[in-house]
Amino acid sequence: MKREDLSNAVGNISTRHIQEAESYGPLKSSFNHKKFSTKKLIALVATLVLCFAIAVPVLAAADVQAAYELLYAISPETAQGLKQVRMSCEDEGIRMEVVSASIRDNVAQIYITMQDMAGNRIDETTDLFDSYSINQPFSGSSTCQFIDYDAETKTAEFMIFITNSDQKNIIGKKITFSVDKFLSNKQEYNDILLPQIDLGDVQLSPQTQTKVKVRGSLGEYNSTKKSHFLMPDAQKTFSPVNGVTITGLGFINGKLHIQAYYENILETDNHGYLDLVDADGDKIAPQGSISFWDSERRGSYEEYIFDVSPDEISNYKVLGNFRTCESLTSGDWQVTFPIE
């Protein structure tokens, strides 16, 4: 069964079928014993829809009704609200389609797909990278959730959630959804940083700097007026993975500082974090961290600060967890559609 056939079938279920499904009562399954958040519930419904679309080549009318009754039993409002949109655009050989949309209370859910018609630029790691924008005639917030990837058709599927903060009826309003770039072929690195980092040989008086262009902070390090940070040390520099470089290590004011540099974050979303881990595998997370720009405001330094003393540092190793990407695709994809 084609995806558009399923969308048409679900979007045009009759009121009689809805009423009949409701009369069946709750499913006698594990759904009775679990509580789902709105986002998890919507994602589950969307995944079920996609599973039917991908796995069932031919589906009779009775089977469509059974599928709908399952969706309705899980979440009546979400299932009842699913309506086909079937509007798309294409640029750079990439086709973006708004497949369907639904309303649940003051939340609009928009199911979209991105398909590569000419290459291999879309995969299971594809990320819209916060490059999408939503023009809407009401105030609110939005999030994007990856749902699934179809390797045969080279199609990535996403659910967009828009919350209307005005608590007004948004049915009948038009929404413009646009994307100008996305990431793919993302890599994950998770390993002990040995032998490059030897915590038995950490500088107690490293060179420091105070004038940095702060991007943000985590933990208790939210004031940087008198803070000192590591100067990158060329003799200690090494790269555990492309796009990430460890640039400094040392104690400042009795606390361990480890500095990492994430290359070209505006186009790659390179990021990560560090932990200390002992021989038993127990971890110590940073007490806080400060991020600041490089001189060109393209790459970002992240300084992780651990509350451990020089006397106990030899009991630990450094664990690095990094997400990197080298594939950025730019284009102009935009669809305007009504919320029915």
Among 21, 139, 5, smallest CA distance to 84 is for 5
Given a contact cutoff of 8 angstroms between Cβ atoms, the answer to whether 245 and 324 are in contact is no
For the chain, 340 residues long, give each residue's pLDDT as a single digit of tens: 444 444 444 444 443 343 444 443 433 333 333 334 444 455 555 555 544 443 333 333 333 344 445 445 545 555 555 577 889 999 999 999 988 887 777 777 888 999 999 999 999 999 988 788 877 666 667 788 898 899 999 999 998 887 877 766 666 678 888 999 999 999 999 999 988 888 888 999 999 999 888 888 887 665 555 689 999 988 889 999 999 999 999 999 999 999 999 999 999 999 999 999 998 999 999 999 999 999 999 999 999 999 999 999 988 999 999 999 989 999 999 999 887 6
> Quick one: which of 260, 258, 273 has its CA closest to 313?
258
What is the predicted pLDDT for the residue at 304?
96
Write down the pLDDT at residue 226. Answer: 64
pLDDT at 275: 97
Helix (H, G, I), strand (E, B) or coil at 83: strand
CA pair distance 193, 191, nearest whole angstrom? 6
Residues 6 or more apart whose CB falls under 8 angstroms from that of 290 comprise 212, 214, 216, 217, 221, 224, 227, 229, 302, 303, 305
